Structure 1
Amino acid sequence: MILGLLRAVWMIFWMFWITLFIGGSAVILALFGVRGHIFPVMSRQWARASLWVSGSRAVGHGLERIVPGQPLIVVANHVSWFDIFAIAGMLPVDFHFVAKKELERVPIFGLAWRAAGHISIDRSNRERAVQSLRKAGEQMRAQKSVVVIFAEGTRSRTGRLQPFKKGAFVLAQETGIPILPTVVTGSYDIMRPDTFLVRPATIHVYFEPPVDPAGLKGDELMERVRQVFVERLEETDSLPPEDSAPAVPAGEG
């Protein structure tokens, strides 16, 4: 446990300086009117550095399915902050995350988030949330880029797959852009919810074959994509049982 706490202190210390340097640079560039490819590059470097200081690494499978100039909606599961580091650090094309608006309030990070053009969703206001998704669609078509959406809307507290939100699937149907199911395994135990312990591990990111929304109704599209997650998680033995033990609180175990 002491080693896990020391790793956490080490990681937080370096992540502060990494975020200050890269995030601060992004804000300054944005203030001077800089736009474009530089921000995904900076996001990618921030993610890789954050993963490195935790002592963990990420391995990608199916990266050849992501082709420059081909818009995709990357729909991923979410069990840890490290999912973000793994996906952002490995995407070989320009990308933008779609996430809750509350991230904008995080010091330094929030300013860099907006400067880099990532898209915030106000989950308390359905109309604004829809507008944000439409903005994401317009951005993808204009920039031929990739957006990343966590299908469950928030992190799973148990490691199990939660019910999917409809936003990503509505976006796919409105734009006709394929969904790329992206299954993340191995990240849950690195830093479990409600703990400050860091346990280095290898994260695997599986970029599955794209699912074309054409001819599929909203629920049909969502169920087809969800089945991809269930099958991959079962195959990799990464789907905890229903009665899996909760995370050990900080200071215990």
Structure 2
Amino acid sequence: MLRTIFFFVTFIPWTLFVIFTGVPLSFLSPDYLHNYARFWAQVGLRLAGVRLSAEGQQHLQQGQPVIYMPNHQSNFDILALFASLPGQFRWLAKEELFRIPLFGFAMRRSGYIPIDRSDRKKSMLSMKEAARRISEGASVIVFPEGTRSMDGKLLPFKKGGFMLALQAGVPVVPVAITGSRDINPKHSRWIQGGHIQVRIFPPVAAGQQAAADRDAFMEAVRHPIATAVGE
């Protein structure tokens, strides 16, 4: 309980400080605000008493845009990915997050992309915008499950992110996150200290073979994540 109180008493002011001091940097370049957000996440993990370890960065080719696809167990996945993935990337996130005062404005200034899942047409337009960003050299993060898992087991993967990979012609990088659910499960306000591990796997190419057999493409991304989380 004390850890939870300490986290929210310190993390909320820290977040507001980063927004107010960081958003002006976005008028120079969204990259500056993204780098500041990485520092925000590192401090946030420390405030929660969370240790982070990451491996597999050697699988990534510098300058190659990719679509990262991690599993999703906790809100702390956001902080863990910010703090562990190298280089610049942009988030595809549900539109509701962009409506949060200040926070949503900072997300837009960072170049993150809202997805309106209640409207298929708007969702397709969001995917086209994401493909455009990727063609300009930006990597993108998509949670293929679409939401957090209640019990830590992988949910069925949605097809949107894989269609985006085929449309943009870039590899998909599977990412496995373990430990985050123990720190803050879905629908829980309590925070436990602990250890989050992020494992980055070799990219899965989205070529002609993947387009011909989308199910096999999805399974090639899902399999290493499922193995890492113990399924």
Q: Once superposed, what is the RMSD of the aligned Cα atoms?
A: 1.4
Task: Give the match for residue 158 of structure 1.
Answer: 151
Task: Give the match for residue 185 of structure 1.
Answer: 178
SS of 2:175 mapped into structure 1: strand
Task: Give the match for residue 231 of structure 1.
Answer: 227
1:136: Cα distance to partner? 1.1
Q: 5+ residue gaps in structure 2?
A: none
Instruction: Note if 1:74 corresponds to 2:68.
Output: yes
Task: Give the match for residue 176 of structure 1.
Answer: 169
Instruction: Note if 1:44 corresponds to 2:46.
Output: no
**Counterpart contact for 2:60–2:203, Cα < 8 Å:** no
SS of 1:24 mapped into structure 2: helix
Task: Give the match for residue 201 of structure 1.
Answer: 194
**Counterpart contact for 1:14–1:53, Cα < 8 Å:** yes
Q: Distance in 2 between matches of 1:158 and 1:232?
A: 15
**Counterpart contact for 2:25–2:33, Cα < 8 Å:** no
1:74: Cα distance to partner? 0.3
**Counterpart contact for 2:175–2:201, Cα < 8 Å:** yes
- In the alignment of these two chains, the number of paired residues is 228
**Counterpart contact for 1:185–1:233, Cα < 8 Å:** yes
1:195: Cα distance to partner? 2.3
**Counterpart contact for 2:31–2:110, Cα < 8 Å:** no
Q: 1:116 aligns with which of 110, 113, 117?
A: 110
SS of 2:183 mapped into structure 1: coil
Structure with greater helix percent: 2
**Counterpart contact for 1:93–1:145, Cα < 8 Å:** no
Question: Normalising by structure 1, what TM-score?
Answer: 0.86
SS of 1:182 mapped into structure 2: strand
Task: Give the match for residue 14 of structure 1.
Answer: 10
Q: Which amino acid is 1:91 matched to?
A: L
1:148: Cα distance to partner? 0.8
1:34: Cα distance to partner? 2.2
**Counterpart contact for 1:152–1:164, Cα < 8 Å:** yes
Task: Give the match for residue 242 of structure 1.
Answer: none
Question: Normalising by structure 2, what TM-score?
Answer: 0.94
Q: Distance in 2 between matches of 1:106 and 1:48?
A: 22
Q: Cα deviations across residues 108-142 of structure 1 (Å, max 9, x unaligned)?
A: 21111111111110000111111111111111221
1:193: Cα distance to partner? 2.3
What pairs with 1:30-109 in structure 2 (closer than 5 Å)?
30=26, 33-109=27-103
* Aligned-pair identity (%): 36
SS of 1:224 mapped into structure 2: helix
Q: 1:220 aligns with which of 210, 216, 221?
A: 216
